[in-house]
A and B are shown apart, each in its own frame.
Chain A
Amino acid sequence: MDQFVTYTVFGVVLAAIYAIAASGLVVTYTTSGIFNFAHGAVGMLGAFAYWQFHVKWGWPTLLSIAVVLLVIAPLIGVFVERVVMRGLQGVSEVTKVVVTIALLFTLIQVAPVIWSPKGSYSVQPFFGAAKIDLAGAGVTYHQLIVIGVAIVVAAGLRALLYGTRLGIGMRAVVDNRMLAELNGARPDRMSAFSWILGSALAALAGILIAERIGLETVALTFLVVNAYAAAVVGRLTSLTRTYVGALLLGLGQAYAQGYLPDNPTWFAERNLDIRSLSLAIPVIMLFVVLLLIPHARLRAHGIVRSRELIPRPTYRWSLVGFGVLIGVVSLLSGALSGEDTLIWSQGLCFGIIMLSLVPLTGYGGQISLAQMSFAGLGAYAIATWGGGGNPLGVVLAVLLAAAAGILVALPALRLRGIYLALATLAFAYVMEKVVFNQRALFPTTSKPVDRLWGLESNRAYLIFLAVVFSLVGFGIVWLRRSKFGRRLQAMKDSPAACATLGLNLTVTKLQVFILSAGIAGLGGALFAGANRAAATDSFSAVQNLPVLLMAVAGGIAMVSGALTGGLLLASFSLATRSIPTLELFGVDAKSFFENLFRLAPGLIGITLGRDPNGLVAMVSDKVKRLWERRLQHRGTRDLPVPATRWQQLVEPVWAVESMGVDTPFVPEEIARIDERLALDEEEVRAGVFA
């Protein structure tokens, strides 16, 4: 009985913290339409800032909290709103997700720069161990305070959003930003305020929970991420339901930790540990909730894209591009050192993994944060069945990953946008915590791998990778031009139009998920081959972030974009390695640049809000414009061939695919089509997925 009370109190306290964090998330989401994946990271920074003031500098508790909540968190909020989110109007959901993920990634990388991971950090509960007695169990003052704060936050938010003009204005901005302006409200100030409020709530949650789980960057970030599950129970909009969700989550987790039996011998004998499941409870709950909530309600703001282009590649120029890639790799690889060759090989493997995102995200508009987990399965397969370079290992890598793809796709069929991103992130987290850490699968954290056909020379392996990339890339170009490719495009553009055309989105979605997972599995197997080892670290949930970021930075809808993304990622580690040890003005410049390169994927991702089409498209667009100007200068009329042909000839080959860029529908057009068809998006989806 005492124990039960203890667990219950513990659960309620956890729930209170999740509720505070989740309500911050809900506030920013409802007022800006942006689901802030970096919310947890803001909480993490808040906790570290509190440590700095209170523990390091010895400020009084209340003063430290006040400074964090009233100064630091609002500064972060305003920064995020001004610098990152303002540019995000009229971009697709994919871009919004990517930008906040970039922010998440950046903040995770920034914290260790300020607070070295070598140091030790901890904060004490408020009032130490002082406690009162409740039905025989001790409840600490800290726990009481946490519960009290959650109640105050709930009441305060309700009063703000429903009882004040500012709050009503914030909700009005969500409904119709333009109309709010026409009413004379100032939407910019309102969204700035909601970001400030959201940050402060995240920081508050971070401070309250730091005492329990300690100050560790990723753990803290992902703990607040658990709050996502609660927010999703509230469908990202209802605060009441969010609190209910938090309560379920907190209690569930507390009871699971308290009552889950020891690992049964049957499992133990097989080196499987089912207790690790309790770590994944919030994420499993997130997954379940995503599936149980009536999906018609699960809609994100503005599902259409606008500033993004989907280039249509041509066979001829793709072939030229792949030829050049293989040629250049063959030539240059002779001049590279063994270690550099290895890094470029990894880059090409990342490129192949990013290729898996081209049909899925680039064409089909489905976000996945689990590609590295599929890759991890591929790595596992080759390590297990690819001994002696047996090609069976690679075949099984593709099949195993594709099978997992079905597993993710089936439940994900009814999800899209941020919900899909969340579900795939949840999957990645479960893979990391529950699957990859089973000793039955990976006896140690790394498993030796034999390269395919015993390609021992690094140079030969690099050239082999270029060939594989080209083959897969060509397949994707073919796909883009096929009927299936047009289907994917239609799925991305307008669900309503799809329904009227009689397209079966369910099958299309399933197919593209399987295909994508298979490609990622192949990439993972080849990656493990390059390293001669399958290391579980490489496939943790966090590793998905830079992969998605760099894929989008290169150009998510282009084969050349995937190549660019992969090579960029490799070039960062190459650059980091090649920095000499040096000191500038008494500062350790080497570690400064190392940090900079570690931040690079995040920083690049953040800029995507400004130019969502990626690097390749940006450059080829510039080149095209320059050439057009030159043609005009010379007088195009005299040219024997149409100007467009000439434009194609001079473009850099690696940008070949952006030729013949076709202009997509603008959101207004899509909306008009949908409206003309008198179709409500929810109805359509209900019909399509029925």
Chain B
Amino acid sequence: MTFTEQIKRAIAITKKDIKIYYSKGPVIIFGLLFPFFLFLAYTIGREISARELMPGLIGMTVFFTSTSIGPGIIPWETRSKTFERLICCPVEFWAILLGDMFSSVIFGTMISIIPVMFTLLFLGLDLTSFIIIVLSLILASLCFSALGVLLSSYPPTDIPATAMMLSSLVKFPMVFISGIFIPVERLPYWGRVISSISPLTYFTDITRHLILKNGYYMLPLDFLAIVLFTAFFVYAAIKMHERTLPQRIS
């Protein structure tokens, strides 16, 4: 069984996820409405230019949209027994999880590209910066999708709402330490240390570099950090789910 064949099968799983999960209520609520209102609450009544708002808005959008489906899929499939059906099929376990991650990468990228387009069309952005932002957006989206899938591994619940709620316990604090509302350079020393363990910090930093010409870390370092986080989340998601898998079969 070749690697490309497994990737093809992972994509079949992605297509299935898109058909089934994009329109689920909790995905819309956690992925779209939540960040939207959070952002409104942040901007209303403040004197900030649209351009200055953009890095935070893009970061928050990609973070919430990419992590909205991941925590739910496996609990949903556990509940409906379709997880056992997938395990029955000649698809490697990592390919199943990768398929789930791809579906939330597509969701995350599709929606987060809207504020990026807005910036390009109305606020001015050179084409190179635009392309780099889109590429980093896809990468970050994979990173957060993997995090989302990882967060659903423990506890191995079959109630999607529980998994989504628990994942929010990790997600919300992350938004506040990632330079979205307060730029990293304005944080105290310990704040900067904490923010350095969030992958979202590095993505926001990339967008600040390219939109505001004002980043904190060096661009290559931002990319490297996201790549490393992604590798870690993907690996951890596979290992953790492998462990809890027997508890999902009953």
Chain A complexes with chain B: no
